A = this chain, B = another copy of it.
């Protein structure tokens, strides 16, 4: 048990240099520093936390390169990786947080962090669910699925929905939201195990392994009348195949493009003329723009979790040291479900 004011060791995951091409575990290094478990006197609005769970998310790849004026800040080489996590407040200089509170939001890849940007930190009110859920279904990925599907896609009962990267942190929820609404839902994933999960655990109507199929023909087979809603997580060849199979007045929510993040030059998309002929709307979004809707989201999702109507699969890596491998694993699809790293179980 950490004692206030005590100086303790603080293991950290440091990004060594900016990364080009495919990231490797060796782009990060584990380092051990020290931290005093008390905020300095003048730490107005900061909080000191003990990190419990860390989240591995595809968007973090972008932060490994030098970017200017981008939608997310680049990591700082030589400093710890930052990202979403769940943490316990040990000391607070902010009126909204007090010692003992549980929070989720942007923290450091280390045992203890001082967090300064409170607008990105939410106090956890509901603790009778797995705390790790606040890195996934009850955190950023959950909000992403919610906003992308309900706000951007204007879904209606009976519509035809396709989700790529469908067993991932976001995709598994989009599929279940669509089923709850009475849509027909097909998902793609990259292994037989994940395809089975989509059909047997998440209730997708159909699912297929994108590595083994002709994408255009497979989508044509599963969507003879076309796709009303596409939740885009991957980009590249999948997007091109989807464009050919969209239905009149279809909608595409652009959430991410994981297939493109490690390429020097993104693949070209050739079938955008289909947006015209099919009158399709394609829209990109970034979930923090919608965080004001978080309370509304919780009101919707917590009862569904309690009643067992929505389920969530996590892939949990043990220990901060396992974080680099877990993050890299996202880009080859090693994770089955939401990739979480446990730093400490209390």
* Residues of chain A whose beta carbon lies under 8 Å from any beta carbon of chain B: 70-71, 235, 239, 254-257, 260, 265-286, 289
Contacts and interface: CB of A to CB of B under 8 A. Distances in A.
A254 B268 contact: no
Given A71-B278, A255-B276, A275-B284, 4 more contacts: A235-B272, A239-B272, A254-B276, A269-B272
A274 B286 CA distance: 11
Binding site secondary structure of chain A: loop
Nearest to A251: B283
A28 B283 CA distance: 41
17 contacts: A70-B277, A235-B273, A254-B272, A256-B276, A257-B276, A266-B270, A266-B271, A275-B284, A276-B286, A277-B286, A278-B284, A279-B284, A279-B289, A280-B283, A281-B281, A281-B283, A282-B283
Given A281-B283, A282-B282, A254 B271 contact: no
Nearest to A246: B284
A80 to B, nearest CB: 24
Contacts of A269: 268-270, 272
Taking the full assembly, how many copies of this chain does it contain? 2
A270 to B, nearest CB: 5
Contacts of A286: 276-277, 279
Given A277-B70, A285-B279, A270 B272 contact: no
Contacts of A257: 272-273, 276
A288 B291 CA distance: 39
Nearest to A70: B277
A281 B266 CA distance: 20
Contact of A260 (B235, B260, B273, B280): B273
B268 A267 contact: yes
Nearest to A257: B273
A265 B255 contact: no
Most chain B CB neighbours (cut-off 10 Å) among A235, A257, A260, A273: A273
A289 B278 CA distance: 11
A242 to B, nearest CB: 12
A284 B280 contact: yes
- CB-based closest 3 A-B pairs: A268-B268, A275-B284, A276-B284
Nearest to A278: B284
A266 B70 CA distance: 29
A241 B261 CA distance: 20
A278 B70 CA distance: 9
B282 A276 contact: no
B276 A265 contact: no
Contacts of A274: 284
A283 B281 CA distance: 4
A254 B269 CA distance: 15
